[in-house]
Amino acid sequence: MMRQAGFIDINVGPPVDVFGGAGGEANAREFAVYGYAFVAYKPH
């Protein structure tokens, strides 16, 4: 999806538990939902 939006040099980090302690934590765990940090560049 990011490439289709015109981004290049896309780097994605490891999965991170971003729902720990949140109200939806149980659902996030059930469906293995994680957050991912990323960096990408879009040429001018």
Tokens, residue 9? 């040099």
Q: pTM of this prediction?
A: 0.64
Q: Model confidence over 1-44: pLDDT tens digits?
A: 999 999 999 999 999 998 888 888 998 889 998 999 999 999 98
For residue 44, the model assigns a pLDDT of 87
For residue 38, the model assigns a pLDDT of 95
For residue 20, the model assigns a pLDDT of 85
Is the CB of residue 44 less than 8 Å from the CB of residue 10? Answer: no
Nearest to 32 by CA among 11, 12, 18: 18
Is the CB of residue 5 less than 8 Å from the CB of residue 40? Answer: no
Tokens, residue 10? 């896309």
For residue 23, the model assigns a pLDDT of 87
